[in-house]
C-alpha cells in the first residue's frame, strides 16, 4: 500500500542488531522503535552515547535495513529495493564530520555532485546549485576551495549538497559536534530557516540540549528504545528524569530548576533567556508588591 499520509517517516517495531561473528549474544542497538514524523516537523533526537541514535538515523534513508519491523519513508517500505532510489532522494543525510563529506575541489562542484549522480540535466543542476548555496548563505563562496572554509561553512556546503537533491526531509546526525560556537550557530540558523521557510522536514540528532530545544518536538532514546517524546518544554521540565537518562537540560532550564530549589518560585519550563528574565522580573515584582502591602 502506498497511501500518502501526513507522515514522512514511520517506524514500526523497528529492531536492529549488529551481527558479529565472535559474539554469541546479539546486542540489539534498536529494540522496538515506534516513531512517526510528520511532514514539515522539526524533530530533535537526543540520548546518551551508544543509545542507538545513529543506528536509527541510518534507517531513515535505507543505509540500514531493519532486522525486524518496518520503516516507511513517504509510504515506501525501505526493505523493497525498488524504492531505494526514491527513498534516497526523499531523505538527505548530513553527518558529523564536514571533511568526510567534501568530494570536490570547489564549492559549486561539491554541491553539484549529488544531482549529477541523479542524472539531472546540466541547466537544472546549475539552477539547483545556485539556489542551494543561496539557502545556506554560501553563494559568494561558490568558486572557493571547500577545504579552506571554516567548519561551519563546510557543514553549510554539505547541507547545500543535500538540498541540491531536493529532499523533502533532511536528517542531521550531530552536525555541530565538531564546530566552534559560531559554526554551531550558523548551521542551526540555516537548519531552522530551511524548516520554517522551505517546509523541509528536519530530524536533528544532537547532544547539545539548547539545540534540541529548538525542535517542535524532542524524542529521547535510551538503550535502543524511545523513552520520552514530547514538546521541548515538557521534556526539559522533567529535570530529574532527564538526569537519570544521563542527559542534561538546557542551561536556562537548569538555572530555573536550581532557583526553585533555593526558594525562588518561578515556572521551571523556561527555555530561553528572555522567558527566564520575564519569569524572574515577574516573581520579583510580586515579592515587591507583597512587601509594600505589609
Ligand atoms: N558497527 C557496529 N558494530 C557493532 N556494534 C555497533 C556498531 N555501531 C554501533 N554499535 C553499537 O550499537 C549501539 C548503538 O550505537 P549508535 O547507534 O552509534 O549510538 P549513538 O549514535 O546514540 O551514540 C551501541 O551500543 C554501539 O556500541
Ligand atoms: Mg551517533
pLDDT tens for 106-157 read 999 999 999 999 899 999 999 999 999 999 999 999 999 999 999 999 999 9
DSSP of 237-277: T-HHHHHHTT----HHHHHHHHHHHTT----TT--SHHHHH
CA 284/CA 294 separation, integer angstroms: 16
Ligand positioned closest to the Cα atom of 59: 1
| Whether the CB of 52 sits within 6 Å of ligand 1 | yes
Q: Which three cell numbers stand for residue 68?
A: 525486524
- In this structure, the residue with its CA closest to atom 1 of ligand 1 is 18
- pTM of the predicted protein model: 0.91
Instruction: Evaluate: CB of 53 within 6 angstroms of ligand 1.
Output: yes
Q: Which atom of ligand 1 is nearest to the CA of 52?
A: 17
Q: What confidence tens digit (pLDDT) does each residue in 19-74 have?
A: 876 666 678 999 999 999 999 999 999 999 999 999 999 999 999 999 999 999 99
* pLDDT level of residue 281 (50, 70, 90 thresholds): confident
Q: Are 171 and 92 in contact (CB under 8 A)?
A: yes
50: left (phi over 0), alpha (psi -120 to 50) or beta: left
DSSP three-state, residue 62: coil
Show the cell assigned to 242: 532527564
- What pLDDT does 1 receive? 47
Q: How far is the CA of 32 from the centre of ligand 1 (A)?
A: 15
For ligand 2, the distance from its centroid to the CA atom of residue 217, given in whole angstroms, is: 19
pLDDT on residue 175? 95
Which residue, by CA, sits nearest to atom 14 of ligand 1?
52
Ligand 2 centre distance from Cα of residue 258 (Å): 30
C-alpha 192/C-alpha 39 separation (Å) is 15
Compute the radius of gyration of the chain from its Cα atoms: 21
Query: Pairing relation of β-strands 68-73 and 76-77?
Result: antiparallel
Residue 244's CB: how many other CB atoms inside 10 A?
A: 11
User: How do the domains of the chain map onto residue ranges?
Assistant: 250-294
Amino acid at each position: 500500500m502506498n497511501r500518502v499520509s501526513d507522515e514522512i517517516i514511520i517506524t514500526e517495531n523497528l529492531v536492529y542488531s549488529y551481527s558479529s561473528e565472535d559474539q554469541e549474544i546479539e546486542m540489539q542497538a534498536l529494540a522496538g522503535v515506534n516513531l512517526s514524523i510528520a511532514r514539515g516537523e522539526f524533530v530533535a533526537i537526543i540520548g546518551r552515547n551508544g543509545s542507538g541514535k545513529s543506528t536509527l538515523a541510518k534507517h531513515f534513508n535505507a543505509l540500514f535495513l531493519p532486522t525486524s519491523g518496518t520503516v516507511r519513508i513517504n509510504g515506501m517500505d525501505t526493505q523493497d529495493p525498488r524504492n531505494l532510489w526514491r527513498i534516497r532522494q526523499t531523505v538527505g543525510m548530513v553527518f558529523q564530520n564536514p571533511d568526510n563529506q567534501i568530494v570536490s575541489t570547489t564549492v559549486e562542484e561539491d554541491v553539484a555532485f549529488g544531482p549529477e549522480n541523479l542524472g539531472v540535466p546540466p541547466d537544472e543542476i546549475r539552477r539547483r546549485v545556485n539556489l542551494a548555496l543561496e539557502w545556506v548563505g554560501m553563494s559568494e563562496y561558490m568558486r572557493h576551495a571547500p577545504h579552506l572554509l571554516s567548519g561551519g561553512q563546510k557543514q553549510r556546503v554539505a547541507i547545500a549538497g543535500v538540498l541540491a537533491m531536493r529532499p523533502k526531509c533532511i536528517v542531521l546526525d550531530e552536525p555541530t559536534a565538531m564546530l566552534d560556537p559560531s559554526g554551531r550557530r550558523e548551521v542551526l540558523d540555516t537548519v531552522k530557516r530551511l524548516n520554517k521557510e522551505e517546509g523541509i522536514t528536519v530530524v536533528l540528532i544532537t547532544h547539545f540540549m539548547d539545540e534540541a530545544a529548538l525542535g517542535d518536538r524532542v524524542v529521547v532514546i535510551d538503550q535502543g528504545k524511545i523513552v520520552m517524546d514530547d514538546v521541548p518544554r515538557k521534556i526539559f521540565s522533567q529535570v530529574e528524569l532527564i538526569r537519570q537518562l544521563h542527559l542534561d537540560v538546557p542551561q536556562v532550564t537548569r538555572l530555573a530548576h536550581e532557583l526553585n530549589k533555593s526558594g525562588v518560585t518561578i515556572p521551571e519550563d523556561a527555555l530561553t533567556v528572555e522567558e527566564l528574565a520575564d519569569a524572574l522580573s515577574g516573581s520579583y515584582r510580586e515579592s515587591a508588591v507583597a512587601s509594600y502591602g505589609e
